[in-house]
Chain A
């Protein structure tokens, strides 16, 4: 099992561009989480899904951020337009039970 898969692993983009991050959870897991990690703020939960339905998106910083989970094996996090302050490592995690979360390797986003 490859675990949680995220793509791309690194993304460098210019301010104003659209960025799409992708996640494939572990098969059979019914929870999916998107986190952002920065030096200043640590690990922040952005949004999470249960059975493909968004449960809590209160951590999404603003309307420029959106997330979808069209099916049990795929989710996207989109930033449009991107800004330099969005530079961070974005993690996707999945779990079958409420709390045993398995994390992906992360996407390091740099917005110039």
Chain B
């Protein structure tokens, strides 16, 4: 079955880089997503990567995809206190099926 795994917590100092890792099981996933959830708010789409790509960069965000190992990572450069949130990794299996989410990684940024 489909499963997405993430570590639950990450703590970094302001200005450092954060790397949030995710593994998934469905090799047929076409898109892989990163969402950010701030306290009491909905999910904000940060970025997504198509399965035939290895890397995608968008300003401070870098997504790396290792399709062989089914490993996805999100790197946030120059992490700021405003980046403190829960980050969800999600995969989109083939067809019009819903996303499969990880449990989320809570990122704490220490000033």
Tell me whether A and B are bound partners. no
